Structure 1
Amino acid sequence: MKIIFYDAKQYDIDSFEKQRKNYPDIESIYLEADLTEDTARLAEGCEGVCAFVSSTITGSVLRRLHEHGVKLLLMRCAGYNNVDIKAADKYGITVLRVPGYSPEAVAEHAMALALAVTRRIHKGYIKVRENNFSLNGLMGLDFHGKTAGIIGTGRIGAAMCRICHGFGMRVIAYDVYQNPDLDFVKYYPLSEVLRESDLISLHCPLTESSYHLINTETISLMKENVVFVNTSRGALVNTEDLIKGIRSRKFHGVGLDVYEEETENVFENRQEDILESSVTARLLSFPNVIVTSHQGFFTEEALAAISRTTLENACAFERGRIIKENQVK
């Protein structure tokens, strides 16, 4: 089976090639270019293509892939809101993903962001590098004894619940489906979680109903001086409303690994560019905000799991035995 990997960085190539030794029936081609309507033609002769969460896979892209004989779309990530699933079904393209590569990787990054903004680590680091050892502007908060509100308690959200519990926090959560493994977590309606939490962390998928879940109305329900973290999907948050909340001093700190309008920035070096998005520039201007570049998944263990599961998905498809839990419908 021949698979073409779009938007492949060197770390992707290294990780997949290390795992591919165990999958000799798979031939791989790596491209720096992202998957678009124009680059879809490069998949000619390949049964499968592999893309990442930063790709926008529209109906027209899928139509082009279908025209070139592609039968399988492998998403080397958990999310698939960037894929037109109805179009994939129309063109007979099976979409498989990696639903649980390393929940701890993302959850640990979420807590790292929460700790960093809470204790002003980003500001302290810069000050000390300039030989400024004063504590002005570095006042933090304790998490121990406080309430953590986790929105979404799937694999990643559950891992975040356990981390917060380990910090000695009271953990409450909102989810359509309650996780029976989290016996220390109390579930409440979303409004109650927002009202009671000192730390709010998003771990839910992006759907029509969750789009802009965090907005002026829901922000108004939150406690004053709350810590807010999003490592899930940027569009869960109305960024303009978030900025208004930051300006009104609603938040002690905000940590974002994802944000709206990140498409042009994520995984790219833009040091020499003037950022077109004023929203991004405004987020970066606030002293109590930390933005990272969608790196929550980026650990050695997670990359190995992503590579292994993606290749297993490909092999199973080739043998006519699709791994159902990995299939996107």
Structure 2
Amino acid sequence: MALKIAFYDTKPYDERSFKEANEKYGFDIRYYKGRLNLNNVVLTKGVDAVCIFVNDTADAEVIQALADNGVKLLALRCAGYNNVDLKAAKDKMTIVRVPAYSPYAVAEYTLALMLSLNRKIPRATMRTRDGNFSLHGLMGFDMHGKTVGIIGTGKIAKILIKILKGFGMNIIAYDLFPDYNFARENHFIYASLDELYKASDIISLHCPLTEQTKYLINDYSISKMKDGVMIINTGRGQLIHTNALIEGLKNKKVGYAGLDVYEEESEYFYEDVSDKIIDDDTLARLLSFNNVIVTSHQAFFTKEALVNIANTTLQNIKDFHEGKIENEVTIS
């Protein structure tokens, strides 16, 4: 009998990629559009595994309800797991994830945000569509020779560093566990956060969201940065205290912000709310700045990434039911 899997927060592109990948596995996949929460967890009764994404809720109550329904495996089709209560899940079920689906996708998108902000491409595009071909207000700066501060040097950041070195940029990095061999090979240095803030023209966030990194970018850290600094976040929304960022933008300390994530994104991201009023005043304020780009957590979104996500997720489920555990998430 085929293993039964309940998929939550399913979009059309998810269903397409998983249906294609599932030809190899033959699982009985039940796709649900709603995000996992306490109201719809009843749909997990009788399934062998549950698959969720970044904005599904897997807090202590939901975890207990899953366990009561007999669920033994929670498979995340993403790398991050900050939406899962790992303490509550301990001894109740196994948590697996997709640790690397396409680091190139996120690294390349990070560069795209930098270039779009610097050269004001969205603003220029809107102008020319309206018949305005003036260059006033569109001046950028040479990326060559500028200093980029990279916070977190995992797989994505390492690819980004190689790309930025190709632009002739100087790299300063911070990581709790520095890879000095990689730094020597790619001619960059590790420094303290304070040193990074002081020296960087652009700061890009690539660290996981933990209790230690939550609101890493706040009013105090922003005060240490160069005037007119560019801040890029393709990691997790709560790495940045949004109100502190807005104050930095208002007083011109922050010159540009490129955000593919937002700390309260779950109410809006991945959904079409174009016929509604955005009643999140903080998000609305961010969207009002012409030197800010906000996108809907799409840095990962390439054909290659979706194929890798589907294959790794289904292989994780297969391995678990064959007595092997790959890509498990545990409490450190």
Instruction: Give TM-score, length-normalised by structure 1.
Output: 0.97
C-alpha contact 2:106 2:234 (8 A) present in aligned 1: yes
State the match for 2:35 in structure 1.
34
Q: Deviations over 1:91-122 (max 9, x none)?
A: x1100000111111111111111110111011
The residue correspondences of 1:281-292 to structure 2 (distance < 5 A) are 281-292=284-295
1:37 CA displacement: 0.7
Distance 1:186 1:283 in 2: 33
SS in structure 2 at match of 1:148: strand
AA in 2 matched with 1:22: K
State the match for 1:96 in structure 2.
96
1:181 CA displacement: 2.6
Identity %: 48
SS in structure 1 at match of 2:182: coil
Q: Call closer, same or farther: CA 1:213–1:287 in 2, change over 3 Å.
A: same
Distance 1:306 1:166 in 2: 29
The residue correspondences of 1:35-184 to structure 2 (distance < 5 A) are 35-90=36-91, 92-179=92-179, 180-182=181-183, 183=185, 184=187
The residue correspondences of 1:295-306 to structure 2 (distance < 5 A) are 295-306=298-309
Q: Deviations over 1:240-297 (max 9, x none)?
A: 1000000011123110000121110010000011112100000000010000000011
1:130 CA displacement: 0.4
SS in structure 2 at match of 1:228: strand
SS in structure 1 at match of 2:127: helix
Gaps of 5+ in 2: none
C-alpha contact 2:35 2:57 (8 A) present in aligned 1: no
AA in 2 matched with 1:327: V
State the match for 2:216 in structure 1.
213
AA in 1 matched with 2:207: C
Gaps of 5+ in 1: none
Aligned residues: 326
State the match for 2:11 in structure 1.
9
SS in structure 2 at match of 1:282: helix
Distance 1:326 1:284 in 2: 37
Distance 1:36 1:73 in 2: 14
AA in 2 matched with 1:175: D
Q: Which 10-residue stretch deviates more, 78-87 or 180-189?
A: 180-189
AA in 2 matched with 1:64: A
State the match for 1:263 in structure 2.
266
C-alpha contact 1:118 1:252 (8 A) present in aligned 2: no
SS in structure 1 at match of 2:75: strand
State the match for 2:200 in structure 1.
197
Distance 1:51 1:274 in 2: 28
Instruction: Give TM-score, length-normalised by structure 2.
Output: 0.96
Distance 2:94 2:218 in 1: 35
Distance 1:191 1:202 in 2: 15
